[in-house]
């Protein structure tokens, strides 16, 4: 079969953000747009030639079209074998699992994560390296540089390949293996958690739960694992059928977007456990009866109890959290006598630490939790971890978390998001804070005294690479913190995120309502950044 050499010209703005290249579907549908980016991957990741590549996505609108393009281009660029999920489906953690299990040279993940899908919504593409994790900045920078000079791409002139039947097909000189997207991942979960104990919990007659797949990719994974392998009641997985537009919803597992699930856990007859995952299956939200576990607390609780699960029975080596994530995990690390790293936002920053064996668990306030079992955050993994703990501890979610606070103190935590803010106004606000930084240390703001104020910079302890301007941190003597950052994942305007944290050692004060307890800090944060004057917003759009 003839390789086609197609002339093209660069597009502006193909720079991958926090998690790959994310744009509106309409942008990706421009002739050559996707092709340019994919060719830039092959031109820079030259060891893909002659190797195996994993390809799959979260099933959103344009997934199937994009996969056909990538398969042809992979074959034309000399990739010898492509592992693709049936129907073009793979959750993000499942891609990572498959890259590692079959020792492939990388993978291409198609997703815009928790962003809505559909013809007028978002699409995304990212490259994962041979360790199964998102490519480091050196790689994404090289890909971006290549998109700026690209002048041709390679493809084959072939009809679309059938992705709906398992088996091996020929595509040019390459072999395409259409795999069951669930099996390898489900086996990995079974190797980490006590499925017998969870099975018993499900059949105890006094445990009720729902998992909300939000019409996104985790539906088939959750049905196989929770209902088929663990014997949960049929229907335990709600919104289980993946849809190209996620049923018109916003597949982001948080209090604002998973309302239906949240409601089911509320009141006297609320469910004992509720959990949800996002568009591509890497995020998680954990709920108990009338109880929301913040992602920061979740990381700390999992770390403190990891030894109670088979996969982590020998203990954990270290923990990492993204900078805006609360310091609750640091307290656990101190107690366990292990290292705790503070990294910039973005899962890719955990990769080196995981590869080097410096950490076992890691997490982010943005509903991401994971471990060294793969190199992506992993939604269902977190859910199973919690179920394993509930089963062995025979306690409710609320009991486990309040016990944790009693032991370690409570890091009250909230995030306030101002969405769709004018980009210039948002950048102006950040610049204003940067100018203030040198004058803040020692200053009193409200009833708090600033102990440090900086623009977070990170030097990777493994490869020495540095990342600057990762968010404004203001730490107070009380242990409280305010962090300001602009989102790196949006596709329109700017989103200002304000992360607030305050430490309360006294158990008598642990039951306060979060927003009430944090009101003084919230006011300090708004005033210092001149949020209303600069953005025109007096209240955030989303509070988590």
Alpha carbon distance 500, 497 (integer Å):
10
Cα–Cα distance, 15 to 142 (Å, whole number): 10
Backbone phi and psi for residue 345, each to the nearest 5 degrees, phi listed first: -60, 140
Instruction: Quote the tokens at residue 498.
Output: 């304000």
Q: How many residues bind ligand G6P (CB under 6 A)?
A: 14
Site string for ligand G6P, 40-69 (x = CB under 6 A): ------------------------------
Residues 41/46/49/50 CA torsion (nearest 10 deg): -140
| Strand order from edge to edge, sheet including 339-343 | 339-343, 318-322, 361-364, 368-371
* Nearer to Zn ion among residue 227 and residue 282 (C-beta): 282
| Residue 470 binds to ligand G6P (criterion: CB under 6 A) | no
Q: Quick check: is 451 catalytic?
A: no
DSSP, collapsed to helix, strand or coil, labels residue 143 as helix
From residue 193, how far is each of 14, 150, 188, 229, 395 by CA, in Å? 40, 47, 9, 12, 17
End-to-end distance of the chain based on CA atoms, in angstroms? 54
Q: How many helices (H) and strands (E) does the chain have?
A: 17, 27
Instruction: Specify the residue, 14 or 345, whose C-beta has the smaller distance to ligand G6P.
Output: 345
Which tokens sit at 513? 């309502």
CB of 364 to ligand G6P, least distance (A): 4
Choose the contact partner of 227 out of ligand G6P, Zn ion, none; CB within 5 to 8 A by kind: none
**Does residue number 247 form part of the binding site for ligand G6P (CB under 6 A)?**
no
Rounded to a whole number of angstroms, the minimum distance from the CB of residue 98 to Zn ion is 17
- Kindly state whether residue 497 participates in binding ligand G6P, applying the rule CB under 6 A: yes
Binding residue for ligand G6P, selected from 118, 428, 488, 520, defined by CB under 6 A: 488
Which option in ligand G6P, Zn ion, none does residue 278 bind, with CB closer than 5 to 8 A by kind? Zn ion
Per CB under 6 A, the segment of 124-132, 142-150, 216-224, 483-491 that binds ligand G6P is: 483-491
Q: Which entry of Zn ion, ligand G6P, none binds 280, CB below 5 to 8 A by partner kind?
A: Zn ion
Using only C-alpha atoms, what is the Rg of the chain? 23
345 touching ligand G6P, by CB under 6 A = yes
Nearest residue (beta carbon) to Zn ion: 113
* Binding status of residue 58 toward Zn ion by CB under 5 A: no
Which of 227, 278 has the CB closer to Zn ion? 278
- Out of 305, 470, 487, 535, point to the residue binding ligand G6P (CB under 6 A): 487
The Cα–Cα gap between 71 and 77 comes to 10
Catalytic residue among 19, 91, 113, 371: 113
Spell out the residues 6+ positions from residue 495 whose beta carbon is closer than 8 angstroms to its own: 417, 418, 419, 420, 421, 426, 486, 487
Task: State which residue, 42 or 484, has the beta carbon closest to ligand G6P.
Answer: 484
Q: Which two tokens stand for residue 159?
A: 């009809």
Helix (H, G, I), strand (E, B) or coil at 477: coil
List the x/- string, 360-399, binding to ligand G6P by CB under 6 A: ----x-x-x-------------------------------
Question: Min. distance of Cβ 280 from Zn ion in angstroms?
Answer: 4
Residue 282 makes contact with Zn ion by CB under 5 A: yes
Q: Does 345 bind Zn ion (CB under 5 A)?
A: no
Q: Is 526 in the site for ligand G6P (CB under 6 A)?
A: no
Listed in sequence order, the residues at least 6 apart from 426 whose beta carbon sits closer than 8 Å to its beta carbon are 486, 493, 494, 495, 496, 535
Nearest CA-CA partner of 392 in 261, 184, 196: 196
β-pairing, 273-277 vs 209-212, is parallel
Residue 122 as a binder of Zn ion (CB under 5 A): the answer is no
Closest separation between CB of residue 376 and ligand G6P, Å? 8
Q: Which residues contact 145 (CB under 8 A, 6 or more apart)?
A: none
- Contact positions vs ligand G6P (CB under 6 A): 18-19, 113, 322, 345-347, 364, 366, 368, 487-489, 497
């Amino acid at each position: 079969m003839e390789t086609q050499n197609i002339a093209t010209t660069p597009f502006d703005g193909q720079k991958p953000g926090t998690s790959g290249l994310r744009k509106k579907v309409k942008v990706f549908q421009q002739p050559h747009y996707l092709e340019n980016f994919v060719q830039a991957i092959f031109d820079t990741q030259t060891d893909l030639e002659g190797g195996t590549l994993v390809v799959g996505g979260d099933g959103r609108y344009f997934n199937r079209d994009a996969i056909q393009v990538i398969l042809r281009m992979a074959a034309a660029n000399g990739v010898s074998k492509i592992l693709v999920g049936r129907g073009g489906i793979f959750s993000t953690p499942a891609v990572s699992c498959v890259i590692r299990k079959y020792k492939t040279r990388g993978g291409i993940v198609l997703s815009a994560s928790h962003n809505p899908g559909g013809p007028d919504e978002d699409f995304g593409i990212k490259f994962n390296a041979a360790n199964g994790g998102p490519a480091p900045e050196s790689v994404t920078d090289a890909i971006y540089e290549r998109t700026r000079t690209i002048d041709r791409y390679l493809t084959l002139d072939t009809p679309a390949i059938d992705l709906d039947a398992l088996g091996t097909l020929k595509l040019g000189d390459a072999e395409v293996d259409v795999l069951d997207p669930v099996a390898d991942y489900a086996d990995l979960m079974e190797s980490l958690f006590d499925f017998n104990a969870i099975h018993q919990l499900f059949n105890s007659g006094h445990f009720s739960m729902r998992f909300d797949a939000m019409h996104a990719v985790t539906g088939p994974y959750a049905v196989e694992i929770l209902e088929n392998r663990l014997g949960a009641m049929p229907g335990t997985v709600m919104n289980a059928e993946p849809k190209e537009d996620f049923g018109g919803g916003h597949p982001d597992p948080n209090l604002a977007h998973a309302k239906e699930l949240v409601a089911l856990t509320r009141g006297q007859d609320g469910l004992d456990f509720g959990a949800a995952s996002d568009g591509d299956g890497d995020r998680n939200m954990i709920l108990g009866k009338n109880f929301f576990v913040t992602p920061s607390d979740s990381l700390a609780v999992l770390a403190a109890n990891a030894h109670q699960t088979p996969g982590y029975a020998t203990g954990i080596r270290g923990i990492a959290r993204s900078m805006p994530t609360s310091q609750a995990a640091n307290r656990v690390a101190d107690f366990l006598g292990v290292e705790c790293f503070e990294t910039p936002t973005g899962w890719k920053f955990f990769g080196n630490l995981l590869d080097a064996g410096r950490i076992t668990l890691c997490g982010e306030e943005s509903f991401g939790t994971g471990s060294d079992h793969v190199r992506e955050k992993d939604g269902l993994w977190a859910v199973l971890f919690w179920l394993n703990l509930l089963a062995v501890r025979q306690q409710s979610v609320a009991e486990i978390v309040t016990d944790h606070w009693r032991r370690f103190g409570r890091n009250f935590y909230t995030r306030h998001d101002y969405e769709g803010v004018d980009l210039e106004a948002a950048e102006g606000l950040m610049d204003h804070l940067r100018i203030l930084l040198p004058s803040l240390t020692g200053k009193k703001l409200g009833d708090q005294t600033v102990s440090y104020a900086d623009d977070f910079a990170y030097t990777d302890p493994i490869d020495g690479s540095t990342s600057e301007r990762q968010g404004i941190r203001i730490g107070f003597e009380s242990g409280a913190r305010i962090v300001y950052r602009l989102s790196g994942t949006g596709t329109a305007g700017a989103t200002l995120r304000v992360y607030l944290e305050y430490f309360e050692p006294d158990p008598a004060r642990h039951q306060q309502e979060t927003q009430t307890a944090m009101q003084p800090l919230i006011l300090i944060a708004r005033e210092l950044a001149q949020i209303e004057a600069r953005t025109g917003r007096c209240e955030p759009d989303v509070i988590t």
